Amino acid sequence: MMNDKFRDECGIMGVYRKSLENNCASYIYYGLFALQHRGQESAGIAVNKEGKIMSHKEVGLVSDAFKGNILKQLKGNIGIGHVRYSTSGEDGVTNAQPLTVNHSTGQIALAHNGNLVNDKALRNMLEDSGVVFQTTIDTEVMVNIIARGLRHGMIEAIQRMVEIIKGAYALVITIGDKLVGVRDPYGLRPLCIGKKDDDYFLASESCALDAAGAELVRDVEPGEIVVIDENGLTSYGQNNWVKKKSCIFEIIYFARPDSVMDEISVYAARHKAGEILAKESPVDADVVIGVPDSGIGAAIGYAEASGIPYGVGLIKNKYIGRTFIQPNQKLREEGVRIKLNPLKETIKDKRVVIIDDSIVRGTTSKRLVEILKKAGAKEVHFRVTSPPVAYSCYFGIDTPRRKYLIGSRKSVEEIREILGADSLAYISLDGLTESVGGKTHFCRACFDGEYPMEVPVLSANE
């Protein structure tokens, strides 16, 4: 059951407090706590006091990484934080962020959400010129490019890095007396700005601003560099080659429902997707249930639009993280049952509509149908709030190889048969666009293969 969802790889947070007397570590801690769903394998905070940076990072959840009086020891009015989810072989504290490097004019710390597509070429180039890397993460490539350009000035160094690197990224950086935020020229990975009195905040999602008591001001625009210092916020605008292509999967699945992204309420979009699905793919049934957590809003929308009552059909064990040990295939198959338990009162002898956000490999969905039938469902009608996932993502999202994506090889009817469902329907691409208010500034490449930049596109057999 592992890896049967697309996985976001990180959450980032930055805080600038105007008064040197005010420490920022607790705000970052609260923000990272709210971003925990974006990464559970390591957490870190770097704080900057008058140009001197100290940091703490550890493997594990935010609450485990910052035990005792660690937060109190992190003194500084500017800081950045990071929660990380990594693919196998890359975890461990060495690759945890923020990453701090020393350079001739001081220290720089950087935290990153996303993925570079030209990381290898840049790493080779830097190694050829004598750079020795301490980690295997592309964050170190970025921080080195900035450090090498600093003699031309900080803004120039960051602008130069933005011109060289290709991929999806949102960055928070602290250097000297400044906090800097950067979003890639397509805006693939999210980053928003918040404010509370004279203090500024940067975060992957607005729910982190809420946790720190700050108000959402706006999103960082694609290709924009924002620099925050004692003069407030200065925007270094966008390059003329930007083309907004935010990740639509943030709205469908990654983001918390209480976040607002690119001026879209995540909850409202999911609710709307459920309403649209009810119109596009109606069915006679007795109850609508959602797969927690991201399917709930859509299930309520489907129920309201169809007139079929909504019910709580699956109870989620909230304490199973990605590190949950499933030592063999049989136990892996049991994994869904341990994570999601059916409520027989809702399901028994009913024709059930179940709403999920996506079908990736199909293994979890198949198991869900089995669980519902075993709990006495007369019929199970599967509805999905995204179109078939048929292409891998190269932009900071952990996805299975294309050949493992069931939507890349099978028709909807074949998938229905594999799942054992009585009917199966996905939202249409047009319906998905309607759910986000008709806005078309989204990357939807995992559905339509139209990547916003060149990637190593694989056939369905690879």
Which residues are near ligand SF4 by CB under 6 A? 6, 188, 247-249, 393, 395, 397, 443-446
Count other Cβ atoms within 10 Å, centred on residue 215: 12
Alpha carbons 125 and 262: distance in angstroms, whole number = 35
Q: How far is the CB of 130 from ligand SF4 (least distance, A)?
A: 34
Q: List the one residue out of 15, 406, 25, 451 whose CA is nearest residue 243.
A: 451
Considering the candidates 10, 192, 247, 446, report the single residue annotated as catalytic: 10
Residue number with CB closer to ligand SF4 (346 or 358): 358
Q: How far is the CB of 395 from ligand SF4 (least distance, A)?
A: 4
Residue number with CB closer to ligand SF4 (33 or 395): 395
Q: How far is the CB of 206 from ligand SF4 (least distance, A)?
A: 18
- Whether residue 288 contacts residue 350, with contact meaning beta carbons closer than 8 Å, is answered with no
Residue number with CB closer to ligand SF4 (117 or 446): 446
Q: How far is the CB of 362 from ligand SF4 (least distance, A)?
A: 18
| Residues with Cβ within 8 Å of residue 425, at least 6 apart in sequence | 277, 280, 281, 381, 382, 383, 384, 412
Q: How far is the CB of 186 from ligand SF4 (least distance, A)?
A: 9
Residue number with CB closer to ligand SF4 (112 or 367): 112
Q: How far is the CB of 261 from ligand SF4 (least distance, A)?
A: 12
Active site residue 247: no
Residue number with CB closer to ligand SF4 (115 or 306): 115
Residue number with CB closer to ligand SF4 (24 or 446): 446
Residues that are catalytic? 10
